[in-house]
Amino acid sequence: MTDLLNDDVIHARPVMIVSLASDGPRHWSPPATANARRLTLDMDANPHRGLWALQLDDAVRAASEPTLLVAEGLACLAIARWAQLSPRRYVENIAGTCLFAPLAFASHQAPLLRNLQPSPSVRLPFRSAVIDTRASLAIARVLELADIWGSDFTDADAVPAAWCRGDSAPAALVAAAQVAGKRQRSAA
């Protein structure tokens, strides 16, 4: 499914970069393209009401042709939850989705994680790729989600350099996993 990360795919389809208002710096972003737009989901005020799902509904229905969704962190879980619970006509305009580090989140986002989990255990109704580093502390759960969603898994080291935000997104993810691992070992 690495073909979703291919330059030809990115430039051939509209791209919607989905994020949360509370997201910090992004590690991943598609290469610059004229057909990319951003959607920031407002999940902070009252995430359980599903207003963020209405934002996704409206944005996807407004797309004039099949669109590639790109998300990082908890925005991945929001897309999965939306896609699995939405009627078919709402998701048929999705060409595919790239889900980067779906379980990466900041501590202040923990309440959002609780509202998005557990995700329904059904396949996503479109092509999808889950991208994460195998050094992640949550890699077992990430691989489980990829399997449940019917997504291909791509190791972060295999992502084309044009997708890396900054100098080395995979290195940043690996470093974050190593720091978290050291904290867990020292707490034990």
pLDDT at 172 > cutoff 50: no
Lowest mean pLDDT among 16-20, 55-59, 133-137: 133-137
Q: Which helix or strand (DSSP H or E) is residue 91 part of?
A: helix 88-91
Q: Do 47 and 115 touch, CB atoms closer than 8 A?
A: yes
Q: What percent of the chain has pLDDT over 90?
A: 11
**pTM of structure:** 0.76
* Neighbour count for residue 104 (Cβ, 10 Å): 22
Tokens of 70: 């790109």
The 10s digit of each residue's pLDDT in 80-119 is 988 888 888 888 889 889 899 888 877 767 667 666 665 6
67 beta partners: 94
pLDDT band at 182 (very low <50, low <70, confident <90, very high): very low
Alpha carbon distance 34, 14 (integer Å): 9
pLDDT at 126 > cutoff 60: yes
